[in-house]
Amino acid sequence: MERTFIAVKPDGVQRGLCGEIIKRFETRGYKLVAAKFVQASEEHMKNHYLDLKDMPFYAGLCKYMSSGPILAMVWEGESIVKMSRMMLGETNPADSKPGSIRGDLCINIGRNIIHGSDTLENAKKEVALWFKAEEFVTYASCAQPWLYE
C-alpha cells in the first residue's frame, strides 16, 4: 500500500471545503492514517516547496501557505500517489476537468485549495516532513476486504 501527503490549503480551509475534500478521499475508499490541523511557518513552507525555490511565485506561495490553518493528512491506498493527483486535477484549475477537485471547486492557480504529493519519492519526503512516527494511527479498516480483491 502506498501513502501520500494531502493538505487542504489555507484558502480551502477558509472556504469551508475540508469536509468536501475528505469526503472525496473517503468515498473513493482510501484510508486516513494521520491528520492534523496546523498553521505552518513560512520556514516550513519554504522547506516543503524547496524544489520551486527559483520560481517567481515561490515567495508568495510560501506566504499564502503559511497565512492560515492547513488540514494536513496522510491517506493510504493502492496506487494512491498517481490516483490522488488525478483526483486533484491539474495545477491550474483552468486546465482541470470538471469532476476533479480543482476543476470543481476553485478558479485560480494561486488559490488552488489542495496539495497532493506528485511522486512516491516526494510523498515519502513530505509525509516525513509533516508527521512524526507517533502521529500515525494503526487500525484495521472494515471496508478493506470490500475494496481490494
Residue stretches of the annotated binding site: 9, 57, 85, 91, 102, 112
Choose the catalytic residue: 3, 31, 48, 115.
115
The 98-127 contact track toward Mg ion, x by CB under 5 A, reads --------------------x---------
Q: Which does residue 136 touch among ligand IDP, Mg ion, none (CB within 5 to 8 A, set by kind)?
A: none
118 binds ligand IDP (CB under 6 A): yes
Do residues 55 and 75 lie in contact, with contact meaning Cβ atoms separated by under 8 Å? no
| Secondary structure in 3-state letters for the chain | CEEEEEEECHHHHHCCCHHHHHHHHHHHCCEEEEEEEECCCHHHHHHHCHHHCCCCCHHHHHHHHCCCCEEEEEEEECCHHHHHHHHHCCCCHHHCCECEHHHHHCCCHHHCCEEECCCHHHHHHHHHHHCCHHHCCCCCCCCHHHHCC
Closer residue to ligand IDP, CB minimum distance, 57 or 136:
57
Closer residue to ligand IDP, CB minimum distance, 20 or 118:
118
Considering only the stretches 15-23, 26-34, 107-115, 125-133, report the one whose residues sit in contact with ligand IDP under the rule CB under 6 A: 107-115
Of the residues 37, 57, 136, 148, which one makes contact with ligand IDP according to CB under 6 A: 57
Q: Which does residue 148 touch among Mg ion, ligand IDP, none (CB within 5 to 8 A, set by kind)?
A: none
Q: State how far the alpha carbon of 123 is from the alpha carbons of 5, 32, 38, 78, 143, in Å.
A: 6, 15, 19, 14, 24
Catalytic residue positions, numbered:
115
Chain residues in the site for ligand IDP (CB under 6 A):
52, 57, 61, 91, 109-110, 112, 115, 118
